[in-house]
Structure 1
Amino acid sequence: MTLKELTLKLSELHVLTKYSLDGEQRFDTFALLGWYFYYIDVHGEKEFIASFHSDEEAYDFIYEFALQRIELAKMYKAKSEEFKREESCYVETQEQVQGEGFTMTSTKRKLKS
């Protein structure tokens, strides 16, 4: 794959802004610096991800990496929505017990009727 092809594919996936392919080190991006691929966090710290032996190898890896991240995001979103649906099946009640010099509150969950 060429740099032009990779740029087009990342643009079609709507993730091009998350990648720096021109050697520029921008915050909160994945950056290709020479034949080294890093994540650069919001503080400018670099986390090494991979190294390559050719431009083509780097571009192919970055495209597959982007696809995997998109798939993970979809799975996370689906799990999050599933969790919200499960949580909506419950109702919480609070119960307070007072003793000598203390108050204790407990929360109980039960399925909605």
Structure 2
Amino acid sequence: MLCTDRGAPITRTARRLVLTLAAAPALALSLSACGAGSVDSDDVEESAETQLMDQTGSDVRPDIDCEDDLPAEEGAAIVCTLTADGLEGEYDVDITVNSVDGNNVAYDVQVADTPR
């Protein structure tokens, strides 16, 4: 059984989420940009959380927090933070725009394999 540094057990589901995220290739996602030339951080968070749950088959919804909107420019990047119930620590989530087609922004999501 894995335990946190406080001795509390890490749930099997949370452990599966972390192990799967660490081994997963970057997710490719697509959203629409706002008129200001960026994707709202709330939209990025929700999309990434849903895709990570779908990819891992986990019933634990990760919480991704992005402080900044994602600029609708190829190569633009932001770093967000991932936490989840039963998961010890915070994980960096790198989000990078790989293409922009009009208002459609395609980007990759990569979760760090170790906590901060």
| TM exceeding 0.5 | no
- Larger relative contact order, structure 1 or 2 (CA cutoff 8 Å, min sep 6): 2
| Higher helix content, 1 or 2 | 1
**TM value normalised by structure 2:** 0.26
> Considering only CA atoms, is the larger Rg found in Structure 1 or Structure 2?
1
**TM value normalised by structure 1:** 0.27
